Chain A
Amino acid sequence: MSDEVDAAEVALPVPHDAVQPDDFSALVADIYDTTLEPARWPAVLDACRAFVGGHSANVYAKGVTGLGGQVYHTDGLVGLDYARLYFTHYARIDPTNTGHIFAEIDQPIITADIIDLEEFDKSRVGQEWVRPQGLIDFVSAPIERRGSWAKMFAVFRHERHGYADEATRRRLSLLVPHVRRAVAIGETMRQAQARGDHFAETIDGLASGVFLVDDEGRLVHSNISGRQMLRGDAPIALGSGTARLERIAKNEAVRLLGNAGDAEPSGRDRSLAFETPDGERFVTHVLPLTSGARLAASNGHNAVAALFVQRASRELRSVPEVLARTFGLTPSELRVLLGIVEAGGVAETAEALGIGESTVKTHLHRVFSKTETKRQADLVKLVAAFASPLARRTAP
């Protein structure tokens, strides 16, 4: 949105009554293009403004109380400052506000429908907001209403356009349903996109590499850990194991699809292990995706299976602070607990932490007692159980 008011409107295309079908059809097509390219709104509203005949076209929302107003799309011809001023000061005292909001959906309203024009001109809104901009009239229609709040499509008339007449009203009424639909379709798309994005970000949080594959075993999506595996980021690089994973993806897609038509759904999950040529072990858990498979039939490029890949490593992604809080461990006890799990026995832990073996033993006994365990293997189990399913990443 531009602050600059582009008033360089030299030859005003005076709208005549006859609407040329080709021009109208092209303008409507432009309106719907905003659903795919929201950045086109300013140019499209400028074209709407020219079609209806007026100074500026806008899509915005306001409520009867005058609070919570918001401009969604604008051609930028009413400056940002004036727009802000309206919503902060004038909406609540605008004598036409309620009339605008409670008009019928899609039905254009002009100022004279609501109030005597002279009276409006004498109001504070007329004197302090409308006049200083050289405006004279306003034609608007609600495109969505919830309670006392409405989303509107409106065109301002400048003094040089004169008051809105029946032709203005008729021309706006030709555009309103399309602006209404384009805004609604755009919103539907944004919501579907946001939903997908939020799910994808959640899956990105997982420590496992997650790969979604289509009916031919082609990769259609991977999460951050998955991309790190493919890209070769240590320590989870698949390296030359990538080919193995690709083969698994292909085989599993075929296996799951082969089962898709069975009366008894045997397309169950399963686990597979493989070793990379460098000797790194990975485990893959394969899961069929039911709605993906259902949609694949109609669309062709959808995920039918999810592959969860993790390194069968012995390093546990524990969350030490949670362990300490849960069992009331002191920092020294926590260090010994993690030492036992990571380094090995008492001697190894003593060496790793640079403390005496007897000190390790003392702490260890307290840890056993606090966690109600009695063996080092139990401690490993405990730490493994508290392992986080989430990847630990440093802030970007």
Chain B
Amino acid sequence: MSEQTLLPPGSSVEPEIDAAALSSLIGDIYDAALDHAFWPQVLQNIARFVDGAAAGILSKDSVSKAGNVHHNYGVEPRYLELYHDTYWRFDPLSPLLFSGIGEVTCNRNYVSESEFSEGRFYKEWIRPQGWVDAANVVLEKSSTSFALLSIIRSEAQGPVDDRMRRRVDLITPHMRRSVLIGKVIDLKGAEAAAFSDTLDTVAAGVILFDVDAHIVHTNRAARDMLATGDLIREAGGGLAATDRAADLALREALSAAGHGDAALGTRGIAVPLDARGGGRFVAHILPMTGRGPGDAASHGAAAAMFVHSATLDAPSAPEVIARTYGLTPSELRVLRGVVEAGGVAETAEMLGIGEATVKTHLHRIFGKTDTSRQADLVKLVAGYSSPLSR
């Protein structure tokens, strides 16, 4: 697109570009990949290096043309607001969608001088800030949007020139990489956060251990269990069970799992645990194989433990069972009574109704659910129990 030609690389060694200064600026650019809060400072350093008055990283939607300034330096908050509210409609940047990634362009590459200077964007947004031109470079494109680096020139600095283009050219590959690296890190972080959230929803306590049986992660239920300390507690970075006998079994299992004991296989093992003050629990230990070439040892988990209460919870959503089998509210109450309280007499007493009534309901329930024994009803309800915490 550009009519301007850049100096062919290597054609001249510019004495004015100090290698140490360039190196330091490039380093700043990558620091912002790890901590996005550095961007305003980095954009200021970039503006200084290329001789610009303001700079921003923004994205434009390919279809709606909506613009969003992600990071900026040198734009007054008032004008930033004006841009987000109104002036994204009038900026001359949409044609950039068709320019090559990494190609440095300026306003007169997409609009004529007169068209630009007559337009609202120049008159109402650019000129009032004392600016004249901008060097723009597309950093990345997706199917729906493109991201660009825009560096604005003041009246004193004058229109974009070859010197500025050459300098923007030098930092563009690093801007592209830094933005990409930042995205990859964010994406991996978001993925891990979604998985961690998912584990938090599980009713069982989930604890991840490293090879030395130190705790590296706990889900919400496990944190609750550790806080009460009736069942398990943290001891020296590792896990201890209040139940003495179980404690030993647990340590042995964790150690075996952590060291990839083949005997454990992928099936894992289970250890019964008694809580102080009553309550039965079961701990299932799952050895982790890890994925990819990275060794599990240096990056965290070697085994996962699931601790769940060995009591059959009432169904988390009894209405789902009722809807599935067309049970009336009375029938549902009797079903829950049979599962929770026991036989006909116990259910009658719990619900405060006659045994004959319980029996009548029970027979209809058998008919509707295609079962014949109370034991079958317990199984049916168990099938609908939720693995999730409430």
Contact = CB atoms under 8 A, between A and B. Distances in A.
Contacts of B208: 198, 202
A344 B19 contact: no
Interface string A188-206: 1111111111111111011
B27 interface: yes
Contact of B292 (A192, A193, A395): A193
A390 B310 contact: no
Interface residues of A, number: 101
Interface stretch (A112-120, A135-143, A377-385): A377-385
A341 interface: yes
A308 B389 CA distance: 12
B242 interface: no
Contact of B300 (A26, A177, A194): A194
A292 B194 CA distance: 5
Contacts of A392: 267
Interface stretch (A91-99, A144-152, A270-278): A270-278
Interface residues of B, number: 100
A272 B194 contact: no
Nearest to B173: A29
A198 B184 contact: no
Given A36-B181, A192-B185, A377-B374, A185 B306 contact: no
A308 B170 contact: no
Contacts of A80: none
Interface string A206-226: 111010100000001100000
Given A377-B373, A380-B375, A190 B284 contact: no
Contact of B343 (A174, A194, A377): A377
Contacts of B383: 281, 283, 310-314
B208 to A, nearest CB: 6
B170 A21 contact: yes
Contact of A283 (B181, B282, B286, B384): B384
B383 to A, nearest CB: 4
A212 B198 contact: yes
B174 A28 contact: yes
Interface string A384-396: 1111111011111
Contact of B174 (A25, A270, A384): A25
B382 A376 contact: no
Given A194-B299, A195-B188, A303-B194, 4 more contacts: A28-B23, A188-B34, A191-B300, A312-B380
28 contacts: A21-B17, A21-B19, A22-B9, A24-B19, A24-B22, A25-B171, A177-B27, A185-B30, A189-B185, A190-B294, A192-B188, A195-B192, A198-B290, A205-B306, A273-B323, A287-B198, A291-B194, A291-B197, A295-B190, A302-B194, A341-B375, A376-B374, A378-B342, A384-B378, A386-B282, A388-B270, A389-B306, A395-B266
Q: Give 9 closest A-B pairs by Cβ, nearest first.
A: A199-B195, A271-B317, A194-B299, A384-B382, A192-B188, A196-B192, A198-B301, A303-B194, A19-B19
